[in-house]
Structures are given as C-alpha cells and as structure tokens.
Amino acid sequence: MIIDGEEKYVMTVIMAAGKGTRMKSEKSKLVHKIYDKELVKRVAELASKVGSDEIVTVVGHLREEVEEVLGDSVKYAYQDELLGTGHAVMQATKYLEGKKGKVVILYGDVPIIRKETLENLIIKSFKNKEYATLLTAIYDNPTGYGRIIRDEGGNIKAIVEEKDANMYEKEIKEINSGIYCFDIEELLSALKDIKPNNAQGEYYLTDVIKIMNDKGLKTGAVIVEDNTEILGVNDRAQLELLTRVLRMRINAEHMRRGVTIEDASSTYIHDNVIIGVDTVIHPNTTIKNGVIIGSNCEIGPNAYIREGCLIGNDVKIGNCVELKKVKIGNRTKVPHFIYLGDTEIGEDCNVGCGTITCNYDGVNKNKTIIGDRAFIGSNVNLVAPVTLGDDVLIAAGSTITEDVPSNNMGIARERQTNKPYKKK
C-alpha cells in the first residue's frame, strides 16, 4: 500500500472458521451470496482492493467450501477449536512472524464495508503511529456489542464485552465493530499474553488493546460514518437486510451519477455496472455484474440483463426482455418478450416481439451476429450459429437456420393451408 509516496506492508487476516448454525443451512454461511457473490469472496476482494500484500483466511467448519470459493487467491490457516477471536488470529501467526507493518482483521460474514472506510483506518494507523486502530460505531442501542472504554483524554483504554460489562459500561454507546488494524510485531507480542479469563472462557482479541495500553503503546479509532457497513450475517433475515442495504447503496450511487431509477426498491443493479447519463431504469429490472450500458437508454420494466452485456447509447430494452452476453449497437430497439444470448447486434436495428436466439444446442453455446439496420419480425427463432447482414428483413414467424446476406429478406415458414373445420 502506498501512503505519502512510501510503500507500506499490509496483511489482512479474514476470520472464516465459525459454524453459522443460525443460517439453518447445510453449506457454510460464508458461501451464501449477495448479488451472486459469496460473502467471504466480497471480504477477500475488499482486502485486495485496499492493497493488501498478503491475505490469510482462517478457516474451520466446512473449510473446503470456503477454499473452493477463494482458491489460491489467499493463504489459509486452520482453527479446529473455536476458542475465540484471539485464538483464531493465533492460528495465523506463522504468516505474521518476521513481518513489519500492519495487519488488518476482517470477518468473512461482514461483507459490505466500503473500501474508503477501510483505507481510512489503515492510513490513520500508519500516519498517527498507532499500534492498534479500531473501527468503532455509535449505536443508540448498543446491546450485544463490546463497549469502547476511553480515558479522560479520549484515548481508548479497553474494550469490554457485553457479558463482562458492568451497569455503567453498558450505558456506553460507542461500540467495537471487531475490525482492527494492528502493528504486526506488537500484536504478536500481545497474543502471547492474552488469557481466557472471561465469562466465555475464550481468548478475546479485544484484550490486546488493554495489553498495549498497559505497555504505554498508542491506540486509536476511526468512527464509521454509516453503521450499516459493519453489519454481519448470522441468519437469512440478516442476509436479506444486507442485500437490501447494498441494493440501495448501489442504486443511490447510480442516481448521483445521472441515471434515473424509477423505483429503487424494485431495481437490482449488481456490482461493477456502468450506466451512462440520462438512462432510465424502469421497475423490476435486474442488471448483473459487469454490464455496461450507454447514455440515454431506456431499460425495462421486467428486464433481466445478465453478465457480459455491452449496450450502446440511445438503446431501448423493453419489458420482459432477457439478455446474456449481448453486444447491442446505438439506437437499436429490443422492445418486449425477447431473449438474446451470445449475440452481437448492430446499430439502428429493431427486434420484434417474441424473438429468441437459439444459442444452446445442448452441448455448446453458439453465436448470432446481426448487422446494422436489421428488422427482425415478431416470433422469429434465430438458430445459432447464424449471421445476418446489414439492412436485412426477417419475416415474422420465421425460423432462421442459415445466414442471410445483406439487403436480403429471410423467410422460413411453411405455406399456409386452410382445411374445412366444423366446431363440435
């Protein structure tokens, strides 16, 4: 990580060993998803985005599922007995030994911290020469959280867990999020001194703060501006809550950048989506990861834009349309009840109602290419692989299995036959 032009070493340790029994699931809580991305993967990607030189994930229960998601993007430590947060970090000490710099402690089930918030925590820890920097929050109802104990000068003196707090300490509204940035060498030293002398009989990572203070080492905190960032997932209701929070956060950012979203509560825009100014998103629209949409487009309602789509300017995507790996040129209209998959379509085209690309033959995905100014009639099947040239007209009701050259009309349907019929 570069701070004031100087390279600083940062490691991240992700806690991911818990059982997550309240999820009532046969799979690890950490591989449940928000917007198609596993909780633990979101945390690992955050660690990478802030410039971590190494990422270590402490795994335990159903570790193979977490390892399958993260692969070789991280290193692994193993916690076979769940004896507290301090004990979990102890399992990663082999990666910390001999290193100088900072180590950030994150949790695999706290997945929506903003990159800017974590960067602020790390930068403050380095610039203020703090041996421990905590991410804290102010809660009107702090029940269940560890309380931040400060001295008369405002310095953090200790953290007291809810079950160990006295009646005065429970009145404190500043709470510990559990996210830290530690000096590596002093953390290793403090871990040797923590004891399970508490109501739970566990090794608390919070005891490290008191140990550092007793040694006269400087500690500090960053108070998070948005408390939703430190929300964790313990059950399905909390998973839905965080999905909702992320949805509103993403939608709000697009609106700030000039996109009209008619109903933010029913619009699902996933991560890493780019949308141009003056584009209008109608209700019940889903736009998945990595999609790029140009300016002055109209999307929805009931549109489903999947991965791999690149949509030009002034494009109309109407109701009940599904797109997957589609490139659409400027000013093209895809109005309603249409499926396009693995398709490139040029500029100034019109795709009729009920059109589908038959892109999957049961084994392979095949491509459909459509030139500029094509007019595709209603209820057309385009059986890939197939190429349509520029200025092509496809008659309604056709099933196209062969290429159609430019300036041609494609018709592929049986001649109509009328036969006598008497209604019974």
Instruction: Give the residue numbers annotated as catalytic, written as ranges.
Output: 336
First-to-last C-alpha distance (Å) of the chain:
81
User: Cα Rg for the chain, rounded, in angstroms?
Assistant: 28
What does the alpha-carbon distance between residue 424 and residue 421 come to, in Å, rounded to a whole number? Answer: 9
SS3 of residue 281 by DSSP? strand
CA separation for the pair 49, 41 (Å, rounded): 12
Buried b (16+ CB within 10 A) or exposed e, 301-337: bbbbbbebbbbbbbbbbbbbbbbbbbbbbbbbbbbbb
Distance of alpha carbon 239 from alpha carbon 246, whole angstroms: 11
CA distance 164 to 196: 12
Query: Can you tell me the distance from the alpha carbon of 388 to that of 63, in angstroms, rounded to the nearest whole number?
Result: 50
Report CA dihedral (289, 290, 294, 295) to the nearest 10 degrees.
50
DSSP H/E element including 187:
helix 184-191
Closest residue by Cα to residue 264 from 235, 287, 237: 287
